[in-house]
Amino acid sequence: MKKVQLNPVGWMSQLSQVEVTQLQDTTHSELYDVFRNCCLAVLNSGVDEDNYEMLFAPYQDFDVKLIRRERGVKIELINPPEVAFVDGKLMRGVHEHLFAVLRDMLFMGNKHAFVHAPSSVDSLSTTDIVFDMLRHAQALQGNDELSTIVCWGGHSINQHEYQYTKEVGYQLGLRDMNICTGCGPGAMKGPMKGATIGHAKQRCNHGRYIGISEPSIIAAEPPNAIVNELIIMPDIEKRLEAFVRFAHGIVIFPGGVGTAEELLYLLGILLNERNSQQPLPVILTGPKGSEAYFEAINEFVGATLGEQAQNKYQIIVDDAQEVARTLAESKAKTEQYRLAVGDSFSFNWSLKIDEPFQIPFEPSHDSMAALQLHQNQDVASLAVVLRQAFSGIVAGNVKAEGVRQIREKGPFKLQGDIRLMERIDALLKSFVEQQRMKLPGSEYVPCYTISTGD
């Protein structure tokens, strides 16, 4: 049996004895099981795998324990994956990420009662949780230069698209922009990799490559090797809110249903009249050859949320420099607006996010079948329900609980108005045809069926 003990790093090296005791009290809890799985995912950093069973299967004898010491708490790894070691020594980045998991899952989880918490808290309290977690992760420090660009896109993209994401990241790095992504492979890794070269050329030695994940996603998509700041939010809704309140601009690369979920969430928020003056630039971009993807997305948005939603973003194809220039030029407008409303540069408090976008949606066969998929509702409500539908498909594709439900009960059933269902079906089929649902080389079996409810 291999055992490795790790000394605390970062903020976790400053815990009081009372805080250490509280952490140890969680070692037989449901929250601790989540912590163990997140640690295992982090120990597989850099492994390109979107099947949690394949990732975890070789490590049934892995465990993690907390050891109390006078100066804090140590993490003890039992039979950890060898991929995390170099010549018998744990990689420093992995060491840091493990204590980030401890901070976010156990310390913050205990503080905010992530397990068995009320299913709904008021909007302000949710935003306070998001702020508190970013603050404790020390992510807000250094985020006041209006230079953080959130990049969304698929984990399953082809090599041509991946190279383009690197080029965009490179151009952003040359302009001293920092990169924040979902921390996985593909379009989440490429911009970070490109930015490292741009930062190096500009002799920027404080480049930030921030990965924001959540427990069920990180288990299927381990952090890529470039992430130097890892933050794990308790659920997908708080993860999405962290992205939009942290960002000074958003770039969306080609992706699958998860990327569509993120775009629908963002558009639903930006369509709120109270956000009409928010200068948050949103750019959809990809290389030559990705036009069909953007045509499908743009057509779907126009047919469901309308022209006003299409006006909330711009599409730039095969021009990485223009993407970076546009985002760099937007800084002045963002600075002017935040100064005018008295808002923080590091956390966008003035962005209005209504409660329906914050309430955690738990995909199940019942909850998916009950979604009100019809266009006889306001665009904000439609954006919420469309995001939930796509979130459920993401769960069925890669998340442990969703995969288990599909195996036991068959595909989720989506039903609603015939025109809307035809549009959803056409968009999802385009993702499947473009091989955006699974990593290249993996056969995709749909976790959903489409019905008009007739």
Neighbours of 120 (CB within 10 A): 12
* Length of the chain counted residue by residue: 454
Q: Please measure the distance between the N-terminal and C-terminal CA atoms of the chain and give it in whole angstroms.
A: 59
Q: Which of these, 237, 357, 251, 249, lies nearest to 294 by C-alpha position?
A: 251
* pLDDT value at 373 more than 60: yes
What is the band of 229 on the pLDDT scale with cuts at 50, 70, 90? very high
List, as one string, the DSSP characters of 48-86: ----HHHHHGGGTT-EEEEEEETTEEEEEEES--GGGEE
Better-scored residue on pLDDT, 246 or 18: 246
Q: How far apart are CA 33 and CA 157, in angstroms?
A: 32
- CB count within 10 Å of CB 23 equals 22
Q: ∠ at Cα 355 (349, 357), nearest 5°?
A: 90
Radius of gyration over every alpha carbon of the chain, rounded to an integer in angstroms? 21
Residue matched to tokens 């949780």: 129
Mean pLDDT of 361-366: 94
Average pLDDT over the chain, rounded to an integer:
90
pLDDT at residue 111, as a whole number:
86
Dist CA 142 CA 229 (whole Å):
12
Cα distance between residue 72 and residue 179, in whole Å: 32
Per DSSP, the three-state class of 225 is: coil
Positive/negative CA dihedral, 321, 327, 332, 335:
negative
User: How confident is the model at residue 358, as a pLDDT?
Assistant: 95
pLDDT of residue 351: 97
Instruction: Please state the pTM of the whole predicted model.
Output: 0.93
Q: For residue 282, what are the β-bridge partners?
A: 250
Rounded to an integer, what distance in angstroms lies between the CA atom of residue 170 and that of residue 176?
A: 10
DSSP 142-203: T--SS-EEEEE--SS--HHHHHHHHHHHHHHHHTT-EEEE-SSSGGGTHHHHHHHHHHHHTT
pLDDT band at 253 (very low <50, low <70, confident <90, very high): very high
Residue 52 clears pLDDT 70, i.e. is over it: no
* Beta strands, E only, 216-340: 229-232, 249-252, 282-286, 314-317
What φ, ψ does residue 354 adopt, rounded to 5°?
-75, 155
- Cβ–Cβ under 8 Å, residues 150 and 178: no
Q: Closest Cα partner for 290 from 320, 269, 262, 261? A: 320
Return d(Cα 45, Cα 183) in angstroms, integer.
10
Rounded-to-integer distance, Cα 141 and Cα 346, Å: 8
Res. 333 pLDDT band, cuts 50 70 90? very high
The residue among 182, 176, 181, 212 whose CA lies nearest residue 196 is: 176
> For residue 367, what are its two tokens?
């909850």
In whole angstroms, give the CA distance from residue 158 to residue 434: 9
Q: CA-CA distances (angstroms) from residue 102 to 57, 183, 365? A: 23, 17, 32
Which residues are CB-neighbours of 212 under 8 A, at least 6 positions away? 180, 181, 182, 183, 231, 232, 233, 239, 242, 243, 246
Range 164-184 average pLDDT: 97
pLDDT in tens, 190-204: 999 999 999 999 999
Of 441 and 87, more confident: 87
- What H or E segment, with its residue span, contains residue 3? strand 3-6
Domains of the chain and CATH, by start: 3-117 (3.30.1850.10), 132-355 (3.40.50.450), 359-451 (no CATH)
**How much is the pLDDT for 400?**
80
Between β-strands 282-286 and 249-252, what pairing exists: parallel, antiparallel or unpaired? parallel
**pLDDT confidence of residue 439:** 60
- According to DSSP, the residues that pair with 251 across neighbouring strands are 151, 283
The predicted pLDDT at position 120 comes to 54
